[in-house]
Chains A and B, each alone.
Chain A
Amino acid sequence: MSQHNIQVTVNGRLHTATVEGRLTLSDFLRVEAGYTGVHIGCEHGVCGACTVIVDGQAVRSCLMLAVQADGSSITTVEGLTAPDGTLHPVQQALRDEHALQCGFCTPGVVMTLAALTSGASKPAARTLLDALSGHVCRCTGYQGIRRAAIKLAGEPGAKK
C-alpha cells in the first residue's frame, strides 16, 4: 500500500501523519486524530452521519480519502463548542427542539447546519431543509430537526 505524508488542521490543531492511500478521511479523523464524534453510518455517502466541514464546506468524510484532505482545515463536531462549554447555536437549537434521540446521526446534522449557517446572511429554510434531505435519522421522524432548521433559517416561519 502506498504511504503518504499529510498535514491537516483539525479543530485548530495541526496533525501530521503518514497514511495509506486508501484510508478514508472518516477513519483518519476517528482513529488517528481521535475525533470519535465523527460517526460512520453507511460508508457509502447516503446517511450523512460522518459529515465534517472541510475548508468551509460540509463533506461526507467517508467518501473522501485522508490524502485528499492534505493541507486542508477541518472542523468536526468537537470543534464547534466554545472552550467554556457553550453550545454552538446549531447545537443549542437542536437541543431546545428535542431534535435527537439516539444521537448517532446528530453530529452530521449539526455539521451540515453549521456549514450552511456560518455566513453573514442566513440561508432560507428551504435551503436548509433541502440539505437535510441528505441526512438519515431513524429515531426522530425529523420533527425536531425541522423545527431547529426553521429556527436557524434567515426567514423564520417560512417552511416547506
Chain B
Amino acid sequence: MSAPQAGTPSYIGRRMPRAEDTRLLTGRGVFVDDIALPGMLHVAFARSPIARGRIRSIDTSAARELPGVHAVLTARDLARFNIDLISFFLVSPSIRIPPLAEDRVLYVGDPVAMIIAQDRYLAEDAAGLVTVDYEEEDPVVTIADARRGSLVHAGSESNVAAASGAEEPDEDLEALLTSAPCLVRHTIRHQRIAQSPMETRGVVVAAHGESELTVYISCQSPQMAARYLSMAFGIPQTGIRVISKDVGGSFGLKVQPWREEIAVVAAGRLLARPLKWIEDRHENLSASNLAREQEIALRIAFDEAGSILGSHVDYDLNNGAYPHGPDSNLAAMMFFWAAHRMPAFGFRARGWYTNTPGLGAYRGPWAIESLARETALDIAARRLGIDPIELRRRNLITKADQPLTTPLGIRLEDITPAECLDLLLQKVDVPAFRAEQAAARAEGRYLGLGITTYIEPTAGSAGISVLSTDVAQLRIEPTGKVSAVLSTHSQGHGTQTTMAQVIAERLGVAFEDVTVYEDDSSRGGFGAGASGSRQAVAGGGASIKAADLLVDKVRRIAAHLLGADPAHVRIQSGRIHVDGAGEKTCSLRELAEIAYGEPERLPAGMEAGLEAQYRYRPPPVTFTSAAHACIVEVDPDTGFVKIRRWVCSEDCGVMINPAVVEGQIAGGVAQAIGTVLLEEAGFDARGNPIAVTYKDYLLPAISDVPDFEYVHASTPSQAEGGFRGVGEGGCIIGPPTLVNAIADALSPFGELAPLELPLTPARILEVIEKRPLSGASPASSPQAGQPSPPSVPHSPPPPVEKPTGTRPTIDGLWKMVLATPMGLQQFTARLAANADLLTGTLQSEMGSQDFTGTIEGNALRWDLKVSKPMPLTLKYDVRIEGDRLTGKVKMGLFGTAKLTGERVPE
C-alpha cells in the first residue's frame, strides 16, 4: 500500500522549478522587515564600546528627552521577567545569560540599553545619547588569554566553558605515537567566521495581553522559536504565534532567538506596543554570535606502508562570552576518524570563555575534523612518499567493511566515501593533471590538486531531544487540493518545493495541487526545522508517512463508493481509478466532498474527512559521504589563488530535486572558499572587532567561485524515502579540498605549516619567499607591546564540601534530571543505604540497571556502565540535602553534566 502511485508522473528526482521563486523574484517575499503593524515602534541598542568592565552607572536622561523617543530600557526594567537564556538544546548553562548587560559588560557590542522610538533614525540618535560610566578591565580575547587570564564569568571555576576527552595523556597511546615509523604533526589556527546571511537578524513583536504574543522573526524554525520563547517567558506555547515566512539565509546564526530578540519581546510585553528591531550589518558583524575560532594540534602515526596506527587531537574552541551552548565540539572528535580504520584514538577538547561575542553555530559546526584530517593526510602522503589518493584508499572504510561499529560507538552501515572517491576519479584524470603540473612548473607556474573524502552525520536524532521527531499534517481539502503543514522551514532550502514533490508523488496528485505551509507555528506541531542537515530526511520521512495514511484512507473510501477491492484502487493525477474496471472512476475532489460533507456514505465507523498526521522519528543518524577534487593555480609573484576546477562527487541518497541538492553543495563550497581565502572576523588585543563592514569582512563574489561539476552516487539510505541530508557538506569538505590544492601547488617551496586561515596572498607568499610578510594575526598570537596579562585574579575555587555529620535519609525513590549538552535526560533511581555501602536501581527509557556505590555523610558516589550511545562509565557524585539532591556526573569523553533530583513521595 505504501508504494508510490503507479502511473503518476514521478516528481522525486526531478529538477522542478521552485514554488518559492516567483514571489522572491518579483519582490513579493515577506521577510521580517517587511512587516509593519499599526502603532509599531522601533528599537535600537546602546552597546558597550569596551570588551570588559563593570558598569558604574547608566545615564539615559538625554536619550529619553529626545522628541520621538518613547522609552529607554536597561536590564533593571526587564528584571521582572527574570530571563536566563538557555542553549539550543534547551539546557541551562552554568553561567547566567541576561538579555541586556546587568552589572558587567563582557564584549564590545554587549547590549546595555534599548531605545524605543518613533522610527529607526531617532532610535539610533538616542542610542548615541546614552552615557555609561564603565570601570574598564583588561579583556580575555584569545584562547591563549583564556588559559592564563582572569575569569570571564565571575564565580565560575575557570574559563573552561566545556571539556571532553581525556585530561591526562594515555600512556599506551603516547608510546604508540612516539615509537611509530612515521609520526605526522599538524597544527591549524582557524579564524573566526561571520555566518553572514544576507538578511540580518530581526524581530517584530505584538503582545496581546499577558499570555499571548505574535512574533515575526527571522529564524530557522518557527516551532523552535515558539518553544524557546515559551520557556523564556513562561507562556504556553499555544499562546505564542511565531511567523517566519521568508528568511534571508541563516547558516546557524538564527538557530534560536538570542539576547537582542528576547529583549525586544520582553520590551514589547512591557510597553504593550508592537516593536520592531532589525539588526544592521555593523551589529551583525561585531555583536551577533560568530563561529569557528579554534586551534587544533593533530598527531597521526603511520606504519611504513601508510596504514594509520593511532592518532591524538588536542583542540580548543573560542566560546566567546555567551555561546549559544557551551561547546568543546565533541561532534568533531566523534566523527574525526569515523570513516577510517583507526586502531587507537585519543583527544582532549576544550571550549573557552572569552570577552568576545559568543560562539554561534555555522554550517557544519564540527567541520574542523575534515579540515585537520584531510590536510594532515596530504602532509603525511608527501612525507611518506605515497600518493595521497592511495593513502586514503589504504585507510578508508569501504562498503565491504560494513556494517561495523567504530571504537567511539558509531554504527556504520552504508557510508561510501571510498566509492565516491572512485566515481570522482572517473571525472578527474589525475595522471594527466600530474603531467600538466610538471610541465607548468618547468615554466614557473604552480598548479595544485587537492582531493578529499568525508562522511557527514545528517538528521541526527539519537540522544538529542529537540531534534528527535518531525511532524507532517496533510489534508486533502474538499476541493481536492492538498495542503501540508510541516515542521520544516526554509531559509533558502526550498522545502516548499521539495516536500511538495514528495507529497505529490506519494499521493498521486499534481505537484501544482500541493501547497506546503511551514511559516506559522500556530498551524502545526513541534519540530526543529532547519538544523543539522535534517529536513529531507526528517521532513521528507514525515511527509511520506502522512501521505501513506491518506492514500490508505482514500483507497478504502473509493473501494466502498465504487464497489471495488481497496488493493485495486489507484490515485493518478488527482483521479481515482480501479484497476481492470475503467468505468469505475471519480475525481479526488468528488471523493473529498463526500468525505467531509456526506459522512453517511463512508464505510461504517470511519472518521469523516481526509486528514492525516504523522510524527516521524528518523534513524539515529543518516550518513552522507563525498569526495571532492579541486585544481588551483597559485601566482608565485602575487600569492593569488585561481581556482580552475572543482568536482563534487557526493552520495546524499535518493535526491528529491537535484537542482536543490546541487544548490546546497555549491553554496557550502562557496562558503568554504570564503573561509580558506577571504573571511576573517578578527579582534584586536583590546577585543575590538576589526572587520565590521563588508569592506573589511570579505565575502566570495561571483569572480571568486568557479563552475562546480557534480557526480551523484545516490545510495538509498535506511530512512523513509532513502534520503540523506546535504545542507552542510560543502562547507565541511570544501576547506580541506582547497587547502590541499594550494598546498600541492606550493609543495616545491615547503609545507603550509602551521596552517593559519585565511590563506591571504601575504601568507602564501611567506611560504614561497620563506620570510614573514603577513605578521601574526592579532587574535591568535601574543604581540609585543600588548598590555600585561589581565590582573583580575582567579576566583578562589569553591570550598570542598565536607560530609555533614548527620546522614540524611537516603532510602527511597528519587526522580533525577541530568543536564547533558544534548538535552535533559530524566530517570528515576531507587536508593538504599547499608552502612557505608550504597545499592540502587536506575530506571530509564533504556531499561533498568543495578549499581553499588559508597556513602560518606551526605555524599553518594557510584559508577554506572552504559552501552549506548557508546560503551561508557558514568561516574555519579551526588549530595543529598533533605528531599533534594544535586551533583555531577562525569560522562567519560562526553565531559561532565549537572544532576538534580528530588525524592518521590511513596
Contact = CB atoms under 8 A, between A and B. Distances in A.
Given A44-B694, A110-B25, A102 B701 contact: no
B281 A41 contact: yes
Interface string B484-497: 00000011111000
B694 A47 contact: yes
Interface stretch (A53-61, A66-74, A116-124, A133-141): A133-141
Contacts of A110: 25
B27 A36 contact: yes
Nearest to A76: B27
B701 A133 contact: yes
Given A20-B121, A43-B280, A104-B198, A143 B25 contact: no
Contacts of B246: 102-104
Contact of B17 (A76, A96, A140): A96
A152 interface: no
| Interface of chain A: mostly helix, strand, loop or mixed | loop
Contact of B492 (A77, A94, A101): A101
B295 to A, nearest CB: 26
A95 to B, nearest CB: 5
A49 B198 contact: yes
Contact of A135 (B18, B24, B660, B702): B702
Interface in A97-149: 98, 100-107, 110, 129-130, 132-146
A100 B198 contact: no
Given A102-B247, A133-B701, A141 B669 contact: yes
Interface string B33-75: 1101000000000000000000000000000000000000000
B196 A103 contact: no
A42 interface: yes
Contacts, number: 175
A106 to B, nearest CB: 6
Interface size class of B (residues with CB under 8 A): 35 or more
B499 to A, nearest CB: 16
* Candidate in A27, A104, A132, A137 with the most chain B CB atoms within 10 angstroms: A104
B374 to A, nearest CB: 20
A136 B694 contact: yes
A141 B363 CA distance: 14
B100 to A, nearest CB: 24
A42 B693 contact: yes
A130 to B, nearest CB: 8
A35 to B, nearest CB: 7
A39 B18 CA distance: 21
B280 A140 contact: no
A77 B27 contact: yes
Contacts of B492: 100-103, 139
Contacts of B15: 98
Interface stretch (B319-327, B459-467, B703-711): B703-711
Contacts of B668: 141
Contacts of A78: 26-28
A144 to B, nearest CB: 7
B280 A138 contact: no
Given A98-B15, A102-B246, A129-B703, A41 B199 contact: yes
A30 B35 CA distance: 11
A136 B25 contact: no
Contact of A87 (B26, B248, B662): B26
A61 to B, nearest CB: 13
Nearest to A129: B702
A104 B246 CA distance: 9
A25 interface: no
B802 interface: no
Given A101-B492, A140-B666, A144-B663, A106 B281 contact: no
Interface residues of A, number: 56
Given A98-B15, A136-B694, A103 B702 contact: no
A113 to B, nearest CB: 11
The residue among B26, B200, B669 with the most chain A CB atoms within 10 A of its own CB is B26
A6 interface: no
B707 A102 contact: no
B31 interface: yes
A139 B25 contact: no
A106 B25 contact: yes
B702 A98 contact: no
Given A139-B492, A143-B708, A46 B199 contact: no
A154 interface: no
B121 A22 contact: yes
A69 B105 CA distance: 42
Contacts of A42: 281, 693-694
A28 B494 CA distance: 31
Contact of B198 (A36, A44, A105): A105
Nearest to A49: B198
A99 to B, nearest CB: 9
A145 B701 CA distance: 11
B11 interface: no
A56 to B, nearest CB: 19
Question: Which of B18, B120, B199: most chain A Cβ within 10 A?
Answer: B199
A76 B20 CA distance: 19
A46 B27 contact: no
A14 B547 CA distance: 50
Contacts of B251: 138
A101 B493 contact: yes
B197 A138 contact: yes
A100 B25 contact: yes
Contact of A95 (B17, B662, B667, B670): B17
Contacts of B200: 41
A91 interface: yes
Contacts of B36: 31
Nearest to B673: A141
A119 B707 CA distance: 28
Given A44-B694, A133-B703, A146-B707, A91 B26 contact: yes
Given A47-B694, A87-B26, A101 B663 contact: yes
27 contacts: A22-B121, A36-B31, A37-B27, A38-B27, A40-B33, A42-B281, A44-B694, A46-B693, A77-B25, A80-B26, A95-B18, A98-B15, A98-B663, A101-B492, A103-B248, A104-B29, A105-B248, A106-B25, A133-B703, A136-B198, A137-B702, A140-B670, A143-B662, A143-B666, A143-B707, A143-B708, A145-B702
Interface of A: 20, 22-23, 27, 30-31, 35-44, 46-47, 49, 76-78, 80-81, 87, 91, 94-96, 98, 100-107, 110, 129-130, 132-146
Interface of B: 15, 17-18, 20-22, 24-29, 31, 33-34, 36, 120-121, 196-200, 246-249, 251, 280-281, 490-494, 659-660, 662-663, 666-671, 693-695, 699-703, 705, 707-708, 730
Given A35-B27, A37-B28, 9 more contacts: A36-B31, A44-B281, A101-B249, A103-B20, A103-B21, A135-B701, A141-B667, A143-B662, A146-B707
